[in-house]
Amino acid sequence: MLSRGLALQHRILPLLMFFSLGLPCQAQGLPEAPIRLSTIWEMQLGPDYTSTTSANERDMHPHVGVFYVPSRTTDSANVPISGLQPLYRLVNQQATDHMDSTVAGEGGFITEGILGYMWSSGTAKTGTSALTRFYDNQPASPNAGDHALVVDQSPVAHPQNLPFYASEAALGYGYARYPGTDVSLASVYGGGVEVKSNIATGCAVWEWWWNGVQFINDYDYGRQLQAAMYPTGSQSSLEEAGDTFGTPDINVDARHPSPCVSIVTSGSTQSTAAVPIDWNPSNFGGDADHPVIYPDVTIGKTITLDWVGPDNQDRHWPLALYQTIVHSAAMNEAVVEAPTGYLNAQFNNYYYYNPISRSLTTVPLLAVQQGTSAGTGYDVPLNPGPQAVILASGTTPTSMAMGIFVNSPNAGFVFYDNSGGPSQQYGSNFAKWEVHYDGGITTGTWTFKTWIMTDTLQNVTSYIDQLNTWGLTSR
């Protein structure tokens, strides 16, 4: 059940390579055939804002990435995508103003080509935002007489500052990006813990603070604390945060985050959902400039800090209920990271804990690293009942630690260690735990419960004991 193979390794060693546009057939077990996307970048040609999907043109001018749109009219299985319309790039006769339009030659403008395709309806796909054409009609403005493509404010805010411009025409719908950044954090508090989800990267957990310490490694889009899904028998890797082209050496506007389509924070609870993109876009015709998305799937979470147990007593404790939530077509078999946590490198003391016998077992660092070298990680011994693992910054009872508790016959834990370097948030070295679910996914809403806690090593074990006393189950 806990053999991961390349499904685990794929997010550890991202390969920044360029691929041809092959079109593989849809694999058995795939929830849907994904769609190849283009990023629309808004360039500045002096006072003229101009849209492009060309990386060569983009790199010649100041730019921000504003939208994902389908790059063609068929999905990766070569099936036509319904509800699309072309988005044209036009230029006026004086070549001083570029304008985007759904109509070739609109207003006497010259048609330069097709940027991509948009959905004509905002209800066609979950989480799409309006692509809106704006116009600057202020004579005193340095951009007077210019058109620009602007991110709409729904379903979540996407800041784009264009003073003097006003809405002129709704063009269609695509996936909004966060122009010029990949960090926009939304906090939730409870029990002495602050968790920050990053709206600009699928709303995955970007930071986890307790006692002045930040636990999460954010080196690239494969890190964080997030969920992912791997349908058995397919090449698909559906990721909550983003894909392999999300490393620090790539400009933020050329990285590939998954679109966050909803985030709601109420009290000590935060709920999010993202439309996942594939970790390896080359498997479905994508590349460094073309992410691949699963538009009919969402992956997200509901996280409740200072979680109140079945006895209804508020303990004001640093313990959270993390519910991984997947909306998808049914699959007979899939691997789900529900979730996985990449921690900063100082949390490289590994333990598994048996809540029934209350026994704490140390896993030598060398054993974890040897398992890692095989590409599958270290499989924690499977227990069909309640299970827990702990990653700590030291070996004393007062060492800072993160503990994770689950109870499901279809789930276990995996460790993965790459902590041999500097202990810093944005360094590439990390210590990883993973809840590894292996089983069926039901149509509609699929949920898996995981309990996560941060405190001293001795307190974490006591919290796990309390969870076990309640007889909690993950499914």
Q: What is the pLDDT of residues 322-362, one digit of tens each?
A: 999 999 999 989 999 999 999 999 999 999 999 999 999 99
CB 64 within 8 A of CB 180: yes
For every residue of 240-259, DSSP letters joined together read SSB-SS--TTS-GGGS-BPP
Report the percent of the chain where pLDDT is more than 70: 92
Which stretches of 76-171 are DSSP H helices? none
**Same domain? 139 vs 105:** yes
- What is the mean predicted confidence (pLDDT) over 410-421? 91
292 within 8 A of 37, measured Cβ to Cβ = yes
CATH code: domain of residue 277: 2.70.98
Q: Which of 176, 209, 230 is the last residue of a domain?
A: 176
pLDDT-derived band of residue 155, with 50, 70 and 90 as boundaries? low
Alpha carbons 195 and 263: distance in angstroms, whole number: 13
The answer to whether residues 399 and 318 belong to one domain is yes
Contact of 295 with 35, CB cutoff 8 Å: yes
Question: What are the C-alpha distances in Å from 467 to residues 158, 310, 450?
Answer: 39, 10, 11
Q: Examine the domain organization and report whether 247 and 157 are in the same domain.
A: no
The confidence score (pLDDT) of residue 406 equals 98
Residues 290 and 422 in one domain: yes
Residue reference for tokens 């806690």 = 453
Task: Using the predicted structure, report yes or no on whether residue 8 has a pLDDT greater than 60.
Answer: no
Q: Are residues 221 and 296 in the same domain?
A: yes
Mean pLDDT of 430-455: 95
Is the domain of 155 the same as that of 204? no
User: Is 168 a domain residue?
Assistant: yes
CB within 8 Å of 311: residues ≥ 6 apart = 470
Same domain, 169 and 184: no
Task: Assess whether pLDDT exceeds 50 at residue 68.
Answer: yes
Q: Are residues 406 and 278 in the same domain?
A: yes
Q: What is the mean pLDDT of the chain?
A: 91
Q: 441 has which bridge partners?
A: 331
Residue ending a domain, among 142, 176, 210, is 176
Q: Is residue 15 part of a domain?
A: no
pLDDT tier at 102 (50, 70, 90 boundaries)?
Answer: very high
In a shared domain, residues 353 and 401: yes
Q: Which domain holds residue 240?
A: 180-469
- The reported pLDDT for the residue numbered 11 is 46
166 and 193 in a single domain? The answer is no
- The helix/strand/coil state of 469 is helix
Query: pTM for this one?
Result: 0.92
Residues 142 and 259 in one domain: no
127 conformational bin, left if phi > 0, alpha if psi -120 to 50, beta if neither: left
Asked whether residue 8 is assigned to any structural domain, the reply reads no
Coil, strand or helix at 201: helix
In contact, 376 and 337? CB cutoff 8 Å: no
Res 210 pLDDT > 50 = yes
Q: Does the structure show a pLDDT above 50 at 13?
A: no
Note whether 390 and 326 are same-domain residues: yes
At 220 the pLDDT is 95
> Which residue is it, tokens 């924070």?
265
pLDDT tens by residue, 24-64:
334 445 788 999 999 999 999 999 999 999 999 999 999 99
427 found inside a domain: yes
| Number of helices (H), then strands (E), in the chain | 4, 30
Number of domains in the chain: 2
Residue 307 lies in a domain: yes
Q: Out of 3-12, 221-230, 442-451, which region has the weakest mean confidence (pLDDT)?
A: 3-12
Distance CA 396, CA 457 (A): 7
The side-by-side arrangement of strands in the sheet containing 444-456 is 260-266, 269-274, 298-304, 319-328, 444-456, 400-407, 386-392, 349-354, 359-363
Residue 450's DSSP bridge partners are 322
Q: How far is CA 435 from CA 236, 409, 431, in A?
A: 19, 12, 14
Residue 3 has pLDDT above 50, yes or no: no
Residue 276, domain member (yes or no): yes
Does 14 fall in a domain?
Answer: no
Residue 120 has pLDDT above 60, yes or no: yes
Q: Supply the pLDDT for residue 153.
A: 66
Q: Of the given ranges (215-224, 346-355, 422-431), which has the lowest mean pLDDT?
A: 422-431
Concatenated DSSP letters for 327-367? Answer: EE--EEEEEEEEEEEEEETT--EEEEEETTTTEEEEE-HHH
Residue 28 lies in a domain: no
